[in-house]
Amino acid sequence: MDFYSSQILNLVEQLSHLPGIGNKSAQRLAFHILNMPQEQVKGLADAMTNAKKNVKYCKECCTYTDDELCPICANPKRNHKQIMVVENTRDLAAYEKTGKYEGVYHVLHGAISPMAGIGPQDIRLSELMVRLQKDVDEVIVATNKTLEGDTTATYISKLIKPLGVKVSRIASGVPIGGDLEYIDEITLYRALEGRTDM
Amino acid sequence: MDFYSSQILNLVEQLSHLPGIGNKSAQRLAFHILNMPQEQVKGLADAMTNAKKNVKYCKECCTYTDDELCPICANPKRNHKQIMVVENTRDLAAYEKTGKYEGVYHVLHGAISPMAGIGPQDIRLSELMVRLQKDVDEVIVATNKTLEGDTTATYISKLIKPLGVKVSRIASGVPIGGDLEYIDEITLYRALEGRTDM
């Protein structure tokens, strides 16, 4: 791409390191940025550096936040005795959008994966155990329904049960709007196992 | 999204203004940026602000560049008597990647679109006319095969022909690997009209 001058090449290169952005999207983004008003480019660049500089982990649930506590942990209206364990902040966001969950969260920032060399000490599990020393009614394990997520769920369950705290796992089944014909066998089997009375 | 703290919200908001990046991708990018090493975030932010500050238009072909002349216009090995007119720098890049074109370019930064209120004076046409005062053999109009691109091509052709400079238009036809069954009628008709002897 020697037909681009060095600063454009550098911008394209930096953008193409972002996830889901290939070389072509990076070029499109780069030229869009060159066409943006100077102020807006500065706003975007500053948002990145400031967020990176100032955002830290919530000292309760370990999600990303700028304050000591995230907005959810700081909210006295939430049920602090019910903790939903998720793999990352995006999963927390997904459950928040349902508007149906009133407890708090614990963000692991990963899942146990022996294949990738990620063990229990590499995710925010010890922080969860510290929280359980306070009065907690239930831990809902909402890690992904993947090999790693299930491994993590089993590990957490074995760790917590001896403490006498209730541990539950979110249900597996056919997604709403899902057409049975296109659902994999394991999901169908789990949906059958998890059937409820009508 | 009040479950995100303000700096994260700001970053997500800024990212979601970029083209092709919806709210969900913006969240994914934001958390990826928070996970990047500080140095890398600074590199990305600096690449944006520096490119925006220093990149200008090539004084010959009007493409984006950091120098007075872009690498192509500065290259004495290129044929400076053959000018390919494109709508934007990405189109220039697309033709450069073919490795088959040895002339130079002229970047219009847009196309004539009466619907969008973009007239001939809003694109880099006067700069092209200035270049034609020098010794030029051929102008190849490679604007897009859209209503706007075709309108621009016709306009340029009418403007240039009186000067005695050869004007050509890139061919329309069935793309290589294209299955006739899935090609629209107008393209098929153009491919028929533009047939060549074998």
Pair B105, B63: CB distance under 8 Å: yes
Contact assignment for A31 to B64 by CB distance below 8 Å: yes
**Residue B176, pLDDT score:** 78
Contact assignment for B41 to A52 by CB distance below 8 Å: yes
**Min CA distance, B196 vs chain A (Å)?**
32
The single-letter code of the amino acid at B104 is: V
Pair B65, B88: CB distance under 8 Å: no
**How many Cβ pairs within 8 Å bridge chains A and B?**
161
pLDDT at A182 over 90: no
Rounded Cα–Cα distance for residues A69 and A71 (Å): 7
Contact assignment for A28 to B20 by CB distance below 8 Å: yes
For residue range A114-128, what is the model confidence (pLDDT) as tens digits? 999 999 999 999 999
Contact assignment for A7 to B45 by CB distance below 8 Å: no
Helix, coil or strand: residue B184: coil
End-to-end CA distance of chain A: 63
Q: Which token pair is A149?
A: 């997520």
For A71, name the nearest residue in chain B, comparing CA atoms only: B3
Contact assignment for B14 to A88 by CB distance below 8 Å: no
pLDDT (average), residues B83-104: 90
Q: Give me the helices (H) in B16-102, please.
A: 23-35, 38-54, 89-98
pLDDT (average), residues B99-105: 91
Rounded Cα–Cα distance for residues A173 and A189 (Å): 8
Find the CB nearest B51 among A11, A54, A67.
Answer: A11
Cα torsion angle, A22, A26, A28, A32, sign: positive
For B3, name the nearest residue in chain A, comparing CA atoms only: A71
Query: How distant is the alpha carbon of residue A40 from its chain centre?
Result: 29
Pair B112, B125: CB distance under 8 Å: no
DSSP state of A171: P
**Min CA distance, B72 vs chain A (Å)?**
6
Pair A71, A63: CB distance under 8 Å: no
pLDDT at A1 over 70: no
Find the CB nearest B45 among A17, A36, A48.
Answer: A48
Q: Which token pair is A106?
A: 């614990």
B29 contacts in A (CB within 8 Å)? 18-20
- The mean pLDDT of chain B is 90
Pair A191, A174: CB distance under 8 Å: yes
Q: Which token pair is B196?
A: 């060549």
Q: What percent of chain B has pLDDT over 90?
A: 69
